[in-house]
Structure 1
């Protein structure tokens, strides 16, 4: 979400460097000199709201025209031309953004959106790569590697000399950032017993709090380079997942982790922790079949479950990011609007902690998706104003709640040995849909409410699809592919 600030659009107009030295000779302040040059060289007109608007990509041909205070285009006869000497950027709100640093305006204006798509491309690649890797080398090493990728790319991007370098580093930031979150969800769920697994949603609450309070440093740090560096902090590391250690036969390390957790929780463990029969059974399972991504669709029940979850993930990702982009018009103050958009997620995640335990994962996911969908559809019949904003935020509330639940639900539905692959695959498809979210918003030129109606319709369909999933509340997580296939059968 930091891209809202580092890629923020900036008002700009053509530079007239030949006039700069002459302007200073008249003893004008820097601000007065800038305004005089702007008024004397840039075409302008009044908008329908009665505001004076200056051209951003063209200027009058002032070649050979001398500057004097109060110069007016009517004083000389000249046609217009494109900006041939760069641009002047309004720094009243931002000292620097990527737009002003790399001249991403006029013919290069679309590159700001391209860099965001490249970031999403990084999340796509990272989700599937680290999803597979976490099942091979373990959750701890995956957390370490995603941390390292995020840290290095986050520091190096600050020294970007041009847009191409910046976009490349954004790819690697996406490559590490999202997989870190996915792996954290997996390891957190594998640590916690069935009765407390809903507390993993607290991870999402921390994201929402960070989302909301990002507006604060962004308000005081108006340079995109310094803001990016400030937000690039080393993240904490956790011990390896005991479930994964057991699944790969590392019983000594698994026993150390479990013993440490038991000491913290003041629980007395039985001895021996792993019986000979248990270890022999685990070894037999490992030799019979080495899990791959194909196991997500190899058997009938797992196949239907995967298709269903992929669809729900895609809808949730598209609607969440679409509403986030669309809700940037909440108010004239970008920082307040950003904070509200992030803040609405906190009560949604807090609600999730209780409803997933009281109603179960399936009904809770159904409720949140249906709430978000109905709210989005309702906006088509509400005029612009406070009522529309309120209903739109209800939609964001619902879809945010669904996003947190689908993370927890997916981890619980798959067996340990393909859990990382499953999360990575679902997240990958979600990122594909996320890339299309801004494209759906373009449809507003045909009918203003059309994008939100599309989001709402998909959300309602996904809510009904969620009812086909088995309930996982209070259930033991499946450990093997066989257990995963049989999970939820009556």
Structure 2
């Protein structure tokens, strides 16, 4: 009879798959995820434009400390566009002297202006006292709009660079070390950015902050997944993911009351300095310790887990675990010397097509998810409340994804959520003019559905590829996904010219990707593929559950 492999999953089943130790670990990991989300989209408010109009020297009195934004005489001096005063242009002055200061009727007459000639202005009156980099670095008018949009793209570019670097550092130096250093450095980058003296400095540190900060979520997820038993991994991932919209929504609440972008950045980033204490708050991943053959530290961590879970861990189990771990490492080294499995991918048209389809699915998810988040502040109504609602609508989506993945399967969940999001975006285009409430409702449905899709995506894709290539191919697809998040910040700029175009773009990508997902195999209740041959045939064999555990 073949000897049963005694791996870490077996040990976790013995000491408890989701007991006090795992709950405490997940609680500590929720904090970095919340803080990362708390500031990850800060550029929506720090790098946004504000409502403004030209300062009319002839009529806006210099002895006023606060100018009326829409005085009764404004249409005499400024052209209107769709019922809204132009932001950066005014009628040319005739050069007359106004007696407006002594005029008790407070009417700035139209004969002061040549309404046949429009000119630009460089002094402005603002609707409120909100300050962003647009007001401080004079990036207000349309010819500077691309600079504000570029901030979001640079943020995504930083993430593109940070994803592979973070994975390398995590595998080389450990999950805990990566978490503590990345969180602390991200906080420092944000604090430095709050002292920016010009646009270039702000943009550089926005990108650097994103490159370091993007490491936090996957590191926390890996740490949690490597410490939780196989049957509870989906549940743990859902719990941790819930703190992303909570962090985003909390940022929106803070932005309502903190109107200065420098103060806002400091409030969002200073709490991140708590990450330095994670060297002592949490244990290093036992799986990583096993890979590094650091068995003494692994024993300490597992014994602590057993104690907190109020169970016992036998010495025999530890000896079997370490012995089988050495056997697996020796076998892996021999295999790596004999073959390069990544090359075999190019011999499999089926897997090449699957990788391309996964990349497009990631691009679609990031484009629609971030695009809807960014465009929420351009909808009718208060932009802060719109953003908060667009974030909070994801919460039920995460919970529903846990149910539909288990009941309906991965493929229907992925395809259905993408198509629903796309259709909602299309319908929202036709409701924007006369029924803004309906447009916003459809907008929320689209954001809800893409949140479900994003949750399913990471789990689904990890089940489509073989063990020896799973992490590298998942990272490869995720990197391609950053193309979508780099394009998303430009869509509000496009909406200034064709308001419905971003929603049409999101809908087209979502529906197309939803249909292409139907080409994937179903992976519910199937064994995780170990080899490339297994991956080609995934979905054909159902999982046989021995003594209880899925992986």
Superposition TM-score tier, normalisation by shorter sequence:
0.7 to 0.9
Distance in 1 (alpha carbons) for counterparts of 2:184 and 2:334 = 33
Judged with a 3 Å threshold, the aligned counterparts in structure 2 of structure 1 residues 148 and 62 are, in CA distance, closer, same or farther, namely farther
Q: Which residue of 2 aligns with 1:191?
A: 227
Return 341-350 or 327-336, whichever deviates more. Answer: 327-336
Show the 5 A alignment for 1:45-64.
45-49=79-83, 53-57=85-89, 60=92
Once the two structures are TM-superposed, the CA of residue 141 in structure 1 deviates from its matched residue by: 2.5
Once the two structures are TM-superposed, the CA of residue 140 in structure 1 deviates from its matched residue by: 2.2
CA RMSD in angstroms comes to: 3.9
Judged with a 3 Å threshold, the aligned counterparts in structure 2 of structure 1 residues 93 and 292 are, in CA distance, closer, same or farther, namely farther
| Contact persistence 1:182–1:423 (CA under 8 A) | no
Show the 5 A alignment for 1:319-338.
319-338=368-387
2:287 aligned with 1:252: no
Q: Which residue of 1 aligns with 2:16?
A: none
Q: Which residue of 1 aligns with 2:359?
A: 310
Distance in 1 (alpha carbons) for counterparts of 2:71 and 2:372 = 40
Once the two structures are TM-superposed, the CA of residue 131 in structure 1 deviates from its matched residue by: 2.5
Distance in 1 (alpha carbons) for counterparts of 2:392 and 2:238 = 16
Once the two structures are TM-superposed, the CA of residue 321 in structure 1 deviates from its matched residue by: 1.9
Distance in 1 (alpha carbons) for counterparts of 2:498 and 2:51 = 28
| Contact persistence 1:292–1:418 (CA under 8 A) | no
SS for the counterpart of 2:79 is strand
Once the two structures are TM-superposed, the CA of residue 406 in structure 1 deviates from its matched residue by: 1.5
| Contact persistence 2:146–2:493 (CA under 8 A) | no
Distance in 2 (alpha carbons) for counterparts of 1:130 and 1:278 = 25
Return 302-311 or 328-337, whichever deviates more. Answer: 302-311
TM-score with structure 2 setting the length: 0.74
| Contact persistence 1:134–1:420 (CA under 8 A) | no
SS for the counterpart of 2:321 is coil
Once the two structures are TM-superposed, the CA of residue 283 in structure 1 deviates from its matched residue by: 2.5
| Contact persistence 2:414–2:453 (CA under 8 A) | yes
Return 392-401 or 373-382, whichever deviates more. Answer: 373-382
TM-score with structure 1 setting the length: 0.83
Q: Which residue of 1 aligns with 2:47?
A: 7
Residue in structure 2 matching 1:460, options 506, 511, 520: 511
Q: Which residue of 2 aligns with 1:289?
A: 336
Distance in 2 (alpha carbons) for counterparts of 1:219 and 1:357 = 39
Judged with a 3 Å threshold, the aligned counterparts in structure 2 of structure 1 residues 167 and 228 are, in CA distance, closer, same or farther, namely same
2:78 aligned with 1:44: yes
Distance in 1 (alpha carbons) for counterparts of 2:291 and 2:347 = 21
Distance in 2 (alpha carbons) for counterparts of 1:358 and 1:280 = 38
Once the two structures are TM-superposed, the CA of residue 487 in structure 1 deviates from its matched residue by: 6.2
Residue in structure 1 matching 2:310, options 258, 266, 283: 266
Distance in 2 (alpha carbons) for counterparts of 1:76 and 1:392 = 43
Distance in 2 (alpha carbons) for counterparts of 1:381 and 1:102 = 37
Residue in structure 1 matching 2:162, options 119, 126, 131: 126
Distance in 2 (alpha carbons) for counterparts of 1:179 and 1:108 = 31
Q: What does the per-residue CA deviation read over 1:406-448, in whole Å, with 9 as the maximum and x for residues that have no partner?
A: 2333455566776554443332211112222355677768976
Distance in 1 (alpha carbons) for counterparts of 2:210 and 2:55 = 35
Judged with a 3 Å threshold, the aligned counterparts in structure 2 of structure 1 residues 262 and 462 are, in CA distance, closer, same or farther, namely farther
SS for the counterpart of 1:30 is coil
Distance in 1 (alpha carbons) for counterparts of 2:494 and 2:127 = 32
Once the two structures are TM-superposed, the CA of residue 399 in structure 1 deviates from its matched residue by: 0.8
Return 184-193 or 161-170, whichever deviates more. Answer: 184-193
SS for the counterpart of 1:406 is helix
2:188 aligned with 1:145: no
Once the two structures are TM-superposed, the CA of residue 458 in structure 1 deviates from its matched residue by: 2.8
Once the two structures are TM-superposed, the CA of residue 93 in structure 1 deviates from its matched residue by: 5.2
2:257 aligned with 1:223: no
Judged with a 3 Å threshold, the aligned counterparts in structure 2 of structure 1 residues 104 and 266 are, in CA distance, closer, same or farther, namely same
Q: What does the per-residue CA deviation read over 1:17-53, in whole Å, with 9 as the maximum and x for residues that have no partner?
A: 8999x843xxxx4225x7799969993134554x6x2
Q: Which residue of 1 aligns with 2:483?
A: 432
| Contact persistence 1:10–1:90 (CA under 8 A) | yes
Distance in 2 (alpha carbons) for counterparts of 1:12 and 1:450 = 25
Residue in structure 2 matching 1:103, options 134, 138, 145: 138
SS for the counterpart of 1:110 is helix
SS for the counterpart of 2:134 is helix
| Contact persistence 1:19–1:67 (CA under 8 A) | no
Q: What does the per-residue CA deviation read over 1:193-213, in whole Å, with 9 as the maximum and x for residues that have no partner?
A: 222112212222111112223
| Contact persistence 1:135–1:421 (CA under 8 A) | no
| Contact persistence 1:357–1:473 (CA under 8 A) | yes
Once the two structures are TM-superposed, the CA of residue 246 in structure 1 deviates from its matched residue by: 2.5
Once the two structures are TM-superposed, the CA of residue 341 in structure 1 deviates from its matched residue by: 0.9
Show the 5 A alignment for 1:339-350.
339-350=388-399
Return 124-133 or 64-73, whichever deviates more. Answer: 64-73
Distance in 2 (alpha carbons) for counterparts of 1:77 and 1:372 = 50
Judged with a 3 Å threshold, the aligned counterparts in structure 2 of structure 1 residues 368 and 117 are, in CA distance, closer, same or farther, namely same
Q: Which residue of 2 aligns with 1:373?
A: 422
Distance in 2 (alpha carbons) for counterparts of 1:337 and 1:35 = 23
| Contact persistence 2:154–2:486 (CA under 8 A) | no
| Contact persistence 2:175–2:285 (CA under 8 A) | yes
Once the two structures are TM-superposed, the CA of residue 477 in structure 1 deviates from its matched residue by: 6.4
Judged with a 3 Å threshold, the aligned counterparts in structure 2 of structure 1 residues 474 and 179 are, in CA distance, closer, same or farther, namely farther
| Contact persistence 2:94–2:112 (CA under 8 A) | no
Distance in 1 (alpha carbons) for counterparts of 2:320 and 2:162 = 36
| Contact persistence 2:92–2:113 (CA under 8 A) | no
